[in-house]
Amino acid sequence: MIQNNILAEKSIDFGARIVRCHHFLCKEKKEFILSKQIYRSGTSVGANIHEGIFAQSKPDFISKLSIALKEAGETSYWLKLLYKTDYLDERLFTSLHDDCEELIKILTATIKSSKENDL
């Protein structure tokens, strides 16, 4: 259902960055609780996008991308909290958060477009 792989590729790249961030938080900052939360939500974004690629129907596709959008929103929250509590410096936070916001924008546009095509 996805016309091109830009969303899929960006979600894999973002997921890989989240995995590295989790590793950094555990190893360097000795932070295990918040890092697990961002690991779960951040990698779930791409997993749901990829499930959407193999959706059985347009409503299923929209549902999977909507879940990915919710997970991206949650990831944005954890990034902000990690930054506000000084676990992430400004450079790392800004870079990850910008990538997360880009995924949110693409997901929002894709969901909206998919819903409009049903009309």
* pLDDT tens-place string over residues 93-102: 999 999 999 9
φ, ψ (nearest 5 deg) of residue 52? -60, -30
pLDDT at 87: 98
Contact 62, 115 (CB under 8 A): yes
Q: Tell me the average pLDDT of the chain.
A: 95
Q: Which domains does the chain have, with CATH numbers?
A: 6-116 (1.20.1440.60)
Contact 50, 5 (CB under 8 A): no
pLDDT at 4: 52
pLDDT at 32: 97
pTM, two decimals, is 0.93
pLDDT at 1: 44
pLDDT at 118: 67
